[in-house]
Amino acid sequence: MSKQESLAEDAALCCSPVMREPLSAEQSAELARVFKAIGEPVRLRLLSLIASHAGGEACVCDLTGAFELSGPTISHHLKVLREAGVIEGERRGTWIYYRVRPETLSAVSAMLMPADAGAVTA
């Protein structure tokens, strides 16, 4: 195997998909939308509160008390997370219960994680 082939193989094993090949316009738009949604401190904290809540879901009534923000402001942040596909909500009576969409976080993680991160070395 030539040195160039060996380097190419090493790069394929260690680099995330983002570094192996350019993202398509669609991929970069979707990834940016998720990053923008979770890149704001209140939204990142909301995501964490929802994910770590008992049963993996939280009522909006459980979230508002954690912030010194108005209900409409919290609702706006939840809407941004929902529109980015990071969380989903289900109305139950007068309240909405939110849960994380693991498939979205897994897809983002897979784009950034080196290909060999899950590999076991002997």
Residue entry with tokens 């995501």 = 47
Domains and CATH numbers, the chain: 40-116 (1.10.10.10)
71-95 tens-digit pLDDT: 999 999 999 999 999 999 999 999 9
Is pTM, for the whole model, over 0.85?
no
- The candidate with the shortest Cα–Cα distance to 87, out of 44, 122, 120, is 44
Lowest mean pLDDT, pick from 6-15, 23-32, 98-107: 6-15
24-70 tens-digit pLDDT: 898 888 889 999 999 999 999 999 999 999 988 999 888 988 999 99
43/86 Cα distance (integer angstroms): 10
Task: Return the pLDDT at 1.
Answer: 59
Query: What mean pLDDT is predicted for residues 100-109?
Result: 89
Amino acid at the residue 5 = E
User: Quick one: pLDDT band at residue 96, thresholds 50, 70, 90?
Assistant: very high
What tokens were used for 89? 């909500």
Q: Report yes or no: 99 and 56 within 8 Å, Cβ to Cβ.
A: yes
